[in-house]
Amino acid sequence: MNLNEIHRVFFIGIGGIGMSALARYFNSLAIPVFGYDLTATPLTREMENNGVSIVYEDGVENIDKSVRSNKEHTLVIFTPAIPITNEIWNYFKHQNYTLKKRAEVLGMITAQYKTIAVAGTHGKTTTSSMIAAVMTHDGMGCNAFLGGIATNFNSNLVLNSNSNWVVVEADEYDRSFLTLVPNIAVVTSTDADHLDIYGDSDSMNTSFQDFLNKVNPTGTVFVQEKVQLTFKNQKLYSVDGQNAKYFAENIAVHNGNFVFDAVTPKGKILGVKLGISGIHNIENSLATIAVCQEIGMTNGNIKAGLENYKGVKRRFEYVIKQDDLVFIDDYAHHPTEIKALVNSVRALYPGKKVTGVFQPHLYSRTKDFGEEFGQELSLLDEVVVLDIYPARELPIEGIDAEFILDKIDNSEKRKETKETLVDSLNKAQLEVVLTIGAGDINTLVEPIKRKLTQK
């Protein structure tokens, strides 16, 4: 089935951030879109308000009749995280519908464009959305499929009928990024992750190299300096720039923002001011500068676009920003990401007490990186650990919140539940508060904000 043969689409797991971007894309083409997900969220409700039909109960009877009665020209897109016991999934499979993974469909769509693909175990959502925002601010424009809600667009989908460029987040989970054929690629990091899929870091690195091997032979690859990958036309970037062509100098903090000079093969860009916080975002901006120079943007327009970039929901997102209280929500779910988050907060708020609330994501990740989580969470002044968010996994014996707590070298540490957390924080002496994790800890952000604001 090619794209012009699709008359209707059904998404299994439509509420996922990558799935919802595809759903919005097909909906924009006036193709009827249907879907199933386990729970309603603000994202699914927004799609429903825009004409997408979504059900939240499993069962064949919940599939729209127009989908059940028209197998031909119906495309079913599913997430790899869907359980094999799902009745809707099994109906479509046994009835021989055309089923494709999200990544396959993304590959079909992006094949129509010149593709900028951003891969990496950390930083890909921010970097891809930053590139899209800078291109849009410049007027060059682009299409984009993003792994988060970019504040500049208030969406994870960007459409521009006048542009033949697409920016896409290239996801390494389940080797999804191997469906893409980029013209330009970025690799931000290859730290071990998703070992439930890959088994070990060597296997994961091989997959990243396979991704680069998919890049157009005449294309360009920009790789963070520490990443051990190879490509014919490969250029390195890094904050400190020991061997990189793109690096930063004169990093400073002015009024809560990082300011720096970017050194590039096409000259220095002086006084770059990021519209978002986080020292790790200096490195993401260097990748953005490299890509935008490669496609012909001027240094002045790149600099203006970076200052105008407003970030991604749940990536170093300020919830409260006052002189006496700061509350930041962040998606960090890997030890390296937690380290980057805490170091950035320390740089911005030296001498302040930093309290972190961490919700571990996946039993397997917690088991694989328990020691590293303990080490990085020990950088906080006060640590609160919630129960593990299981997502697609079943429990692993001995792997729970206490497993991480035992590895944290900090006398100010405790476990809380989602039910007790808000009142617990309300009784504490707080200066800088971080909510950290990729599960459903974001549902606690507004209750925490209300309570702390009242306090």
* Domain CATH code at residue 210: 3.40.1190.10
Cα–Cα distance measured from residue 36 to residue 57, given in angstroms and rounded to the nearest whole number: 7
Same domain, 128 and 264: yes
Same-domain status, 192 and 255:
yes
Give the pLDDT confidence of 292-343 residue by residue, as tens digits. 999 999 999 999 999 999 988 888 889 999 989 999 999 898 898 899 899 8
pLDDT at 37 > cutoff 80:
yes
143-164 mean pLDDT: 95
Is residue 120 located within the same domain as residue 214?
yes
Half-sphere exposure of 191 (CA within 13 A, CB side): 16
Pairwise CA distance, residues 225 & 236, whole Å: 5
Instruction: Note the pLDDT of residue 4.
Output: 83
128 and 267 co-located in one domain: yes
Residue 250 makes CB contacts below 8 A (sequence gap 6+) with 260, 261
* Residue-wise pLDDT tens digits, 197-227: 656 667 778 888 999 999 999 999 999 998 8
> What pLDDT sits at residue 347?
85
Q: Which domain holds residue 292?
A: 113-308
pLDDT digits (tens, 9 = 90+) for 436-450: 998 889 889 999 999
Whole-number pLDDT of residue 192:
55
Q: Which of 39, 74, 100 is the last residue of a domain?
A: 100
Residue 263 and residue 118 share a domain? yes
The packing angle between helices 335-348 and 370-377, to 10°, is 10
Mean predicted lDDT score pLDDT of the chain: 91
Residues 269 and 324 both lie in one domain: no
Regarding whether 174 and 79 lie in a shared domain, the answer is: no
- Of all residues in the chain, the percent with pLDDT exceeding 70 is 97
pLDDT the model gives residue 1? 66
Q: What is the pLDDT of residue 132?
A: 98
Q: Which amino acid is at 409?
A: D
| pTM recorded for the entire structure | 0.83
Work out the pLDDT band at 184, boundaries 50, 70, 90.
very high
When pLDDT is cut at 50, 70 and 90, the band that residue 162 belongs to is: very high
pLDDT band at 76 (very low <50, low <70, confident <90, very high): very high
Domain shared by 131 and 214, yes or no:
yes
Q: In this predicted structure, what is the pLDDT of residue 276?
A: 85
Task: With respect to residue 107, please indicate whether it lies within any of the assigned structural domains.
Answer: no
- Provide the domain count of the chain: 3
